[in-house]
Structure 1
Amino acid sequence: MTVTAYTLAIVLDLFVLFIGARFLLQPRAAAVGYGVPAAHSGDGAYLTVKGLRDGTFGIMGLALLLFAGARAEAWFMLVVALAPLGDTLIVLRNDGTKAVAFGIHFATAVIVLISAGLLFAI
C-alpha cells in the first residue's frame, strides 16, 4: 500500500503542476479543457492566477512529500481537495457541462481524497 500511496500522490502532484503550466503557456486552450472557455478580452489575469495556483499546489505537494513525509502530504491532499470541489461548482454556475463538472473536477476531488486516505493509512 505504501508504494500505491506514494505513487498516486506523486502522479497527482505532477498532474496539477502540468495543469498549472498549461494555464500559463496555453491559457485559452486550458480554459476550454477546464470547462469554462475564457473570453478573448479581460480574462488573461484570471487564467494566469489559475496557472500559478495549480503550479504552486503541485510544487508544494512534491515538497511536502519529499521533506515532510506522507502524513503532511495526506493533510495537504485533504485540504487541496477543496479546489476541485470548488471547480465543480464554478463550471456548473458558468454554464459548463455536467459531464465536465462531475467527470473531471468532482472525480478529481474524489481521487485526491482517496490519495489522502491512502497516505493517512501508511
Structure 2
Amino acid sequence: MIVTGYVLTALVALGIIYIGLSYLFAPNKTAAGFGFNAVPENAETFLNVKGGRDVGAGLIPIALMIYGDPHALGWMMLTAAVWPVFDMLIILRHRGKKAVAFGVHGLTAAVMVVAALLLLLG
C-alpha cells in the first residue's frame, strides 16, 4: 500500500512541477487549459507567480518522500488536496469548463486523497 501511495504522490508531484514550469515558460497557453473560458489580458505576471508556487508545491511532497516518513507525507497529501478542490470550485463558480473542473482538478484531488489514505493506513 505504501509503495502505491508513494507512486501516486510522485505522479502528482511531478505533474504539478511540470504545470508550474509551463506557467513560467508558456503562461497564456497553459492558462487556457486551466478550465476558464477566457484568459485575462496582461495576466502573464500573475501566471508566472502561479508557476513558481506550483513548482514549490510539487517539491514539498518530493522532499517528504526523500525524508522517508509515509505518515507525514500522507498528512501533507491529505491537506494539500484542498488546492485542486478549490481550483475545481473556482472554475465551477465562474462557469468555466466542467469537464476540466471535474476531470482534471477533481480527479487530481481524488488521487491525492487515495495516495494519502494508502500512506496513512499502510
Taking structure 2 as the reference length, the TM-score comes to: 0.91
**CA root-mean-square deviation:** 1.3
Q: 5+ residue gaps in structure 1?
A: none
Unaligned regions of 5+ residues in structure 2, if any? none
Report deviation, 1:51.
0.9
1:17-43 deviation line (CA, Å, top 9, x unaligned): 1111111111111111111242232x1
**Correspondence 1:59 to 2:59:** yes
Higher relative contact order (CA 8 A, sep 6+): 2
Amino acid at match of 2:70: A
Matched, 1:34 2:34: yes
- Provide the rounded CA distance (Å) in 1 between the counterparts of 2:117 and 2:59: 20
Deviation at 1:45, TM superposition (A): 2.4
Alignment size in residue pairs: 121
The AA in structure 1 aligned to 2:32 is V
**Deviation (angstroms), 1:68:** 4.6
Whole-angstrom distance in 1 between the partners of 2:6 and 2:103: 24
Q: In 2, distance between residues paired with 1:46 and 1:68?
A: 34
> 1:26, 1:63 → 2: CA distance?
26
* Alpha-carbon separation, structure 2, partners of 1:11 and 1:64: 14
| 3-state secondary structure, aligned to 2:40 | coil
- Identical residues among aligned pairs (%): 38
Q: Which one-letter code corresponds to 1:86 in the other structure? A: F
1:49 and 1:93 mapped to 2: Cα distance? 23
The residue aligned with 2:110 is 110
Question: What SS does structure 1 have at the residue aligned with 2:33?
Answer: helix
